[in-house]
């Protein structure tokens, strides 16, 4: 079919059970499309922060940094994939890492689809109408969580209850990974400092 790369993610968005099933068992998910969705999300969040209307834009322009969006979008995304994979491997999940990543990325599509128009609309809204802006954005958020839930359930062949538990566990594991990462960084810093001190000690000895 024509434009399958565009049609399929949109189909997943509205028919998640059917869509994620096809994604896993008909091999319809594509890593390239998934990566594109994540990139688009980073762009749309950046655009939202920069260009949303004055009435809803509470960002201090002096401290806006597009590179920061990597921190707020890409990093949690990668963490989620890694954490979810770690958890589900232990809990009889059937999904592979690549599938998990594709499912998570496809679930992000509602955010992209909703953020861009609301960013535009926020520029022609009055104070009373900004409620719609927040409503639509929260709706996008809920939609994303719903897709992620269905996707996780389908890709690992879990029951609903087990999916919820797994997702919560994934969040905890994400925190653990961040903690370990910081620990490693801190240790490396200490080791470097230690080596540096020894070096200085030696060169000042004579």
Partner 1 sequence: MRSTRMLIVLAAVVLLVSGAVPAAAAVPYENYNYNYWRDAVPSPEAYLPSRSITGVSLGIGDFLEPTDLFATKEDGVYLLDTGNNRIVVMDRDWRLLSVIAGFEHDGKPDGFNKPEGMFVDSEGTIYVADTGNKRIVALKADGRLAGVIRDPQSDILPSGFEFVPIKLTVDRAKRVYAVTRGVFEGIVQFDSDGTFLGFVGTNRVRPNASDYAWRFLSTKAQRSQGVLFIPTEFSNVDIDAKGFIYATNIDPGSQTPVKRISPSGDDVLKRYGYFPVAGDVRYRLAGADGGPSKLIDIKVREGGTYSVLDSLRGRVFTYDEEGNLLYIFGGKGNQLGTFKLPAAVEAIGERMAVLDRARGRIVEFAPTRFGAAVNKATALHADGQDQAAVEAWREVLRLNGNYDVAYIGIGKSYLLEKRNKEAMHYFKLGMDRKDYSVAFKRYRREVMKAHFGQALSALLLVALAAAAAYVLRRYRIRRGSVSHEA
Interface residues with partner 1 (CB under 8 A) are 54-55, 60, 62, 124, 126-128
What's the closest the beta carbon of residue 126 comes to partner 1, in angstroms? Answer: 4
Distances (CA, A) of 203 to 10, 49, 111, 191, 198: 65, 51, 57, 18, 9
SS3 of residue 58 by DSSP: coil
Is the sign of the CA dihedral 132, 6, 50, 117 positive or negative?
negative
Nearer to partner 1, 54 or 204 (CB): 54
Phi-psi region of 157 (alpha: psi -120 to 50; beta: other; left: phi over 0): left
- Shortest distance in whole angstroms from residue 52 CB to partner 1: 13
Q: How far is the CB of 17 from partner 1 (least distance, A)?
A: 34
Closer CB to partner 1, 62 or 205, in the complex: 62
Dist. CA 200–CA 18, nearest whole Å: 65
Q: Which is nearer to partner 1, 57 or 86 (CB)?
A: 57
> Residue 78, Cβ neighbours under 10 Å: how many?
15
> What is the C-alpha to C-alpha distance for residues 174 and 86, in angstroms, rounded to an integer?
10
Minimum Å gap between C-beta 58 and partner 1 is: 9
Q: State which residue, 137 or 170, has the beta carbon closest to partner 1.
A: 137
């Amino acid at each position: 079919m024509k434009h399958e790369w565009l049609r399929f993610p949109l189909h997943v968005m509205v028919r998640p059970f059917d869509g994620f099933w096809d994604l896993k068992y008909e091999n319809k998910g594509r890593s390239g499309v998934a990566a594109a969705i994540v990139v688009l999300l980073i762009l749309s969040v950046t655009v939202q922060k920069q260009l949303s209307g004055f009435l809803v834009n509470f960002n201090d322009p002096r401290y806006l940094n597009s590179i920061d969006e990597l921190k707020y979008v890409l990093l949690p995304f990668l963490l989620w994939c890694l954490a979810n994979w770690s958890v589900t491997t232990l809990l009889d999940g059937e999904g592979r890492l690549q599938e998990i990543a594709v499912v998570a990325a496809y679930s992000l599509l509602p955010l992209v689809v909703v953020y861009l128009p609301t960013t535009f609309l926020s520029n022609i809204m009055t104070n009373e109408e900004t409620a719609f802006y927040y409503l639509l954005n929260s709706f996008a958020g809920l939609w994303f969580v719903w897709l992620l839930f269905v996707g996780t359930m389908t890709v690992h062949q879990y029951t609903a209850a087990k999916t919820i538990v797994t997702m919560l566990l994934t969040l905890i594991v994400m925190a653990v990974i961040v903690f370990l990462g910081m620990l490693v960084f801190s240790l490396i810093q200490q080791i470097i400092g230690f080596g540096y001190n020894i070096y200085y000690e030696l060169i000042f000895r004579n």
